[in-house]
Amino acid sequence: MKPHRWKYQVLPATLTIILLLVVLSYGQEGPTQSSNKSGQSREIQKVSVVAERFNFTPSKIKVKEGTLLEITLTSDDTFHGFRMPSAKINQVIPARGRGSVKVVFDAKEKGSYAFECSRPCGAGHTMMRGVIIVE
C-alpha cells in the first residue's frame, strides 16, 4: 500500500477518537447547583448522550436520587428521538450537524427508567434504547 493512502485512513480514525474524548469529558462535568421555586437548591448532574443507528452512548446512566439530570442529546447520523414514557419526555434529536437538544429528568425516586428512540430510524430502531438508574 502506498504511504499517502495510509494517511487518509488514519486521519478520520484519529478525529473520531478526539471527538469521542471531547464528548466524554463533557459528560463528566461536576455537579452544579440550581434553585427551585421553594428556594431549595437541587444538584444538577449533566451528561451528554450521542444517538446513532442503533444505539445511545452511553446507554446506561447512573444518577443520585434527588438530583436533576440534564441530558444533552446529539446525533451522529440521522434524526432520532428520545422518549421516556415514565417522565413524559419525548424530544426529537436533530440530525448530525444540526445542533443538540436538552432534556431534564427529575431523579426524585430510586429505580430504573427506560428510554428509547421515538423516531423510526431504520432496521434496528426498536432495539435503540437505554436506561437511567436512580440510586
Which residue in the set 42, 62, 96, 125 belongs to the binding site for Cu ion (CB under 5 A)? 125
**# chain residues binding Cu ion, by CB under 5 A:** 4
Cβ atoms of 106 and 90 within 8 Å: the answer is no
Q: Could you tell me the smallest distance in angstroms from the CB atom of residue 78 to Cu ion?
A: 8
Name residues whose C-beta falls within 8 Å of residue 42's C-beta, 6 or more positions apart in sequence. 33, 34, 35, 36, 66, 67, 68
Choice between 43 and 52, CB closer to Cu ion: 52
Q: Is 134 among the residues that bind Cu ion (CB under 5 A)?
A: no
What torsion, rounded to 10 degrees, do the Cα atoms 122, 125, 126, 128 define? 160
Residues 103-122 contacting Cu ion, CB under 5 A: 117, 121
Cell of 122: 431504520
Choice between 107 and 117, CB closer to Cu ion: 117
Question: Which stretch, 26-34, 37-45, 98-106, 126-134, contacts Cu ion (CB under 5 A)?
Answer: 126-134
Angle in degrees, CA 113, 82, 106, rounded to 5: 45
Q: Is 93 among the residues that bind Cu ion (CB under 5 A)?
A: no
Cβ atoms of 53 and 64 within 8 Å: the answer is no
Choice between 20 and 127, CB closer to Cu ion: 127
Choice between 85 and 111, CB closer to Cu ion: 85
Q: Could you tell me the smallest distance in angstroms from the CB atom of residue 82 to Cu ion?
A: 10
Cell of 10: 488514519
Chain residues in the site for Cu ion (CB under 5 A): 117, 121, 125, 128
